[in-house]
A = this chain, B = another copy of it.
């Protein structure tokens, strides 16, 4: 299924506006606001039940903190089977990585600092585990207006285990208009501008800054 062929296109309004030009002229477009994920999934499934070709739009990869799960869960409640195809995309971790250099060529973890759906205690446990086992760490949803505590808590946990001079890359609007990035260090990261459209990548013990790029050495012998 392609977006160009869809009878119905559903998604958060910011994402809809990015693909406006390829939506069929007579397609039904249902944009919505952040936080109404279940509502949007139910509309998608109801339209599919009516025989429509429905596209649900996510940013990045729909399977990484995206709508893929909720659509499958809602579709499974229907009496008749609904065919759901999930199209993978480039998630913020790897688009930010490409902008910064190559921080993720070794093992890494992806953690969201949003505690809307995950208890904060579990997020802390995951941060502790990741920081103590020398993973590169990617933080999604690091901060929003009025919600700064999770990031400063994550910062404290990471500093307990990770060298404060470890390179950290901060990318805003990865792959979109207005993209910005900075390479700094763990101890300095809270001095940078960080919001909900920011992805943070904390290197591991083998990560260096080479000519402005963040590179995790895999251990190849370059002299051969």
Contact = CB atoms under 8 A, between A and B. Distances in A.
Interface string A86-107: 1111110011011101111111
A222 B74 contact: yes
A72 interface: yes
Contacts of A122: 134
What range describes how many residues of A lie at the interface?
35 or more
Contact of A107 (B76, B112, B132, B213): B112
Interface in A180-219: 210-211, 213, 215-219
B105 A118 contact: no
B220 A70 contact: yes
Interface in A102-151: 102-112, 117-118, 122-123, 125-126, 128-130, 132-135
Contact of A118 (B37, B106, B110, B130): B106
Tallying the copies of this chain within the complex gives 2
Contact of A98 (B88, B133, B222): B88
A63 B130 contact: no
Nearest to A36: B224
Interface of A: 37-39, 61-66, 68-70, 72-74, 76-77, 81, 84, 86-91, 94-95, 97-99, 101-112, 117-118, 122-123, 125-126, 128-130, 132-135, 175, 210-211, 213, 215-222, 224
Given A65-B106, A126-B135, 13 more contacts: A63-B102, A68-B105, A72-B102, A72-B210, A73-B222, A86-B98, A86-B99, A91-B94, A117-B219, A118-B219, A126-B134, A129-B129, A129-B135
6 contacts: A62-B102, A63-B105, A64-B105, A72-B213, A88-B98, A107-B123
Top 8 nearest A-B pairs (CB, nearest first) are: A129-B133, A69-B102, A68-B102, A129-B129, A69-B105, A88-B98, A86-B98, A117-B219
